[in-house]
Amino acid sequence: MIPVYNRVTYLERTLMSVLSQDPGAEEMQIEVVDDASTSGDAEALVRRVGGERVDFVRQPRRLGGIANWNSCVERSRGQWVHILHSDDVVFPGFYAGLEAALKTRDEVGAAFCRYVTIDENEVCLRTSELERLTPGILPGFIARIGAGNRIQCPSIAVRRRVYERLGGFRPELSYAADWEMWIRIAAHYPIWYEPETLAAWRIHSGSWTTLTARSGQNIADARRCVEVSRSLLPPEDAGTISRKARENVARLAISGAYRALLAGEVRTATRQAWEGLKCGLTLRLMARTVLLLPVRIAGEALRRMLAGEKDSLRTALRSTQGDENHRRRHPCAGAGPGLDSRLRGNDQRKNVLKARMDVSSTTPPLVSVIITTRNRRAMLEKALRSVYSQDCPNREILVLDDASEDGTSDFIRSHHPDVRLFRHEENRGLIAGRNLLMREARGDYLISIDDDAYFLNTDAMSNVVARMEAEPELGIINFRVLDPEDHVPVFPEAEYYTSSYWGLGHCVRKAVLQETGYYRELVKWGCEERDLSLRVLDKGYRLLQFPGATVVHPCFVAGKSLPGSPEYRDLVKVWRLTAKARLLQAWLNEPFPWWVLSTANVLAGYSVRAAWRRSLRDALRGFCEAFKEFPTLKKTRRPVSPRAMRLYLALARHRLSDASQIRAIYKSPPGILAILFGLGS
């Protein structure tokens, strides 16, 4: 059911997102209900896009937004009712996913999925908080939804008999009518959650959220919702939950007031602040307002200064408050388990979002296997055979020949015509080769193995895809690695979350790369994994050590000598390139004071290790090359957030496998003292 009033700009996109999943008129009712619009020809658009498949009804008189929602519920004929606003969208798999999960769960009253918030240009602003890692019923959800609205209309479907029993939305609550309804449902029925992101909620200058904020109505309605919903909460926890809800509403008002002041809208700021004061100010909230926000502003200004940006303090203030706004736009919407991703204006996410909306959910995910090679034709053949043996038919294989002189390209053309072959006419190195293949890959998941590695188990790729599909927050999976001489595992034979990965065998989501950017081509080889891992963590994704995929590869273990070509296994180049890359990576990626500490650690630690291996001269050469480039790095420095750095170091110290532990550490990484001195571990 799609309610509409005057706003038809995004209606076509909304209808297309539904029609692309249409199972037929026998199973799904699609109807647009026009609330007596005075502008825009919604009926003509519906007929052009949906033909006779989409019903169109025009109210004889203007009912108002919430009353029109209730009319949609009354007109619905299905067992489940999905109210999809005319500017929101659903992704492929929304209806099929919820239906498949709930066919046998008759006790469930409503089901909702994770969603993204987008703007008028379909740029992703943020992703909603992850409630649980796997699909299922949310125990004790009344306490969470009672403290703040965690659900937006496009992401939830409600059983029709639930509306019939509990009644419709309350028009007097206007902006908060949906929040009150979700509390009412959670108080009487179990709620099902789907962790995959299957819907998008749009915010723009003409949206209801924006318009109600200008008058302060959003805060007033949310405050009334807290009051009227208290009777629905568990009696023993009602006071605590209501107090949290009022604090969240007040925080929303403060954020709105700051944002309005920065935009020069004094009247809007006054109304937001006044309505926020009615919620009551706690010492905690006052401390956050008076102390923490200026600290964030100063931190943002310092970050920009270190990054070489010449923005003013006012610009930094705008940026900081913008981040705060994304987290507080709706009461207790939450920042999710991820970090401050700073995605405003991210065109790459816009492209990812559109691709997600346009791809059919019935198509199994395409896997791209990428291999960079140089003068290793025999080893490459073994790697390719191991890929062909995998039980993952929906795949493509991409190989980059990095100026080989042993006839590798001719061999691939003649013996493996199905391989997508690329070639560098001059040796540009491993990192540049991987970047090219990752950009050219068409798959949803990119599996990268070295040319001297091969899969040991035939179900490795299918296991990896299944694991990725099961946890949307996974950005990179690191494979289990065995040494070829004695098959001694390099990593423990267990699954746990980690801080980094090995490039010789791993899987990464293509969408994650489009958010974070590809490898920095600092050198031909070395430390590219740490560089990308930090940026992946900064965007809120996780890295997993996964024993379900095993590759065999000659490794740096037990002090063994390294066989292979001189380009990637020559110890002189290894120490020089690694020392240089590690310093450059710290200076470009790490925030203050971490890059200073890392510099000291690299200089001391690498020198000792290199001296032990009789390669001190090579390491010192790498250090000198890095310091020569230091003055040129100011303009290209883009440090991750301090929180991401703390998270990286904490994950390096602890092998966490429990979902509650990883969610807790993402929410609150250890402080600098705990990491440096092991306090509180």
Q: What is the pLDDT of residues 533-577, one digit of tens each?
A: 999 998 889 999 998 899 988 754 333 333 343 433 455 567 787
Q: Which of 476-480, 591-595, 659-663 has the highest mean pLDDT?
A: 476-480
Q: With 90 as the cut, is the pLDDT of residue 70 above it?
A: yes
pLDDT of residue 285: 57
**Mean local confidence (pLDDT), 355-368:** 63
What tokens does 260 get? Answer: 């309005």
Greater confidence (111 vs 287) lies with 111
Q: With 60 as the cut, is the pLDDT of residue 633 above it?
A: yes
| Domains observed in the chain | 1-204 (3.90.550.10), 205-332 (no CATH), 364-564 (3.90.550.10)
Greater confidence (344 vs 444) lies with 444
Bridge partners, 397 (sequence order): 369
DSSP state of 591: P
pLDDT of residue 262: 61
**DSSP H helices in 376-480:** 377-388, 408-415, 430-440, 460-470
Task: Indicate the range of 373-387, 446-460, 657-671 predicted with least confidence.
Answer: 657-671
Which positions ≥6 away from 281 have C-beta within 8 Å?
250
Residue 384's Cβ-count burial label (10 Å; 0-12, 13-18, 19+) is buried
Mean pLDDT (the chain, rounded)? 79
pTM, two decimals, is 0.50
pLDDT of residue 437: 95
Q: ∠ at Cα 482 (521, 585), nearest 5°?
A: 20
Specify the 3-state DSSP secondary structure of 355: helix
Specify the 3-state DSSP secondary structure of 586: helix
Of 591, 569, 595, whose CA–CA distance to 644 is shortest? 591
Q: With 80 as the cut, is the pLDDT of residue 590 above it?
A: yes
Bridge partners, 545 (sequence order): 478, 496
**Mean local confidence (pLDDT), 356-361:** 46
pLDDT of residue 57: 95
Q: With 60 as the cut, is the pLDDT of residue 505 above it?
A: yes
pLDDT of residue 482: 83
